[in-house]
Amino acid sequence: MKREEKAKHIHKILDELYPTTPIPLDHSDPYTLLVAVLLSAQCTDIRVNQVTPALFELADNPFDMAKQDIDDIKAIIRPCGLSPRKSKAISVLSQMLVDKYDGEVPQSFEALEELPGVGHKTASVVMSQAFGVPAMPVDTHIHRLAYRWMLSKAKNVEQTERDLKKLFPKESWNKLHLQIIFFGREYCPARGHVPEDCPICSKYGRRSMFSE
């Protein structure tokens, strides 16, 4: 079966299982989403959602956040891991938003990726979920599933992103990346995966996966 045909079947399964895709990170606007996505690096969405209420009570906009002591930010976000790096990034990017963008989150990949702590994946999430711009944010989980489902042989997330964009309609990207994440958590985890019980791997997964 060609990749294009397999992608259509997989897309259908994902649409049936996840007709709606709520954004997993709690937020109220593009800025709070940006901060939440930054915090989610090497951290679960559940943990981020436990931490952000206290952080956004301290400051929920770049003007107020830029005034906060970095140590106060670090103390709140410590459960998310990498708190020294993340707290500095939140502080500095908040000041940059104030200085360069009048406190608004810029609506371009290039501008977002210039902010500290914001890579291409984070920028893609913000562009897709905050501004509705078609994007295919690929993290290590989506990268793993794309390989497992034989949709990509890429060795890195950048190439996997390019491969998936070729296989799926542009108008589906924003919803699709969340569908893949939800599916991975429920049916296709990295560990303890039973391919025979997986709605996708049982039909379209790599044969090598059946030995996991």
Span(s) in the chain for CATH 1.10.1670.10: 3-21+136-211
Query: Does residue 139 have an active-site annotation?
Result: yes
Q: How far is CA 210 from CA 144, 180, 189, in A?
A: 15, 20, 14
For residue 204, what is the enclosing H or E element?
Answer: helix 201-204
| 163 in catalytic set | no
- Cα diameter, the chain: 57
Q: Which amino acid is at 72?
A: D
CATH 1.10.340.30 residue window(s) in the chain: 30-129
Q: Which fold has domain 3-21+136-211?
A: Endonuclease Iii, domain 2 (1.10.1670)
Q: Which of 2, 99, 121, 197 is catalytic?
A: 121
Which one is catalytic: 8, 45, 139, 153? Answer: 139
pLDDT tens-digit readout, 144-179: 999 999 999 999 999 999 999 999 999 999 999 999
Distances in whole angstroms, Cα of residue 69 to Cα of each of 15, 88, 116: 45, 10, 17
Reported as a single tens digit per residue, the pLDDT across 11-60 is: 999 999 999 999 999 999 999 999 999 999 999 999 999 999 999 999 99
How does pLDDT run across 65-82, given as a tens digit for each residue?
999 999 999 999 999 999
Enter the tokens of residue 132: 């509705």
What is the fold of 30-129?
Endonuclease III; domain 1 (1.10.340)
Residue 180: CB partners within 8 Å, gap ≥ 6?
14, 141, 142, 145
pLDDT band of residue 208 (cuts 50, 70, 90) is very low
Give me the DSSP letters along 57-90: HH-SSHHHHTTS-HHHHHHHHGGGS-HHHHHHHH
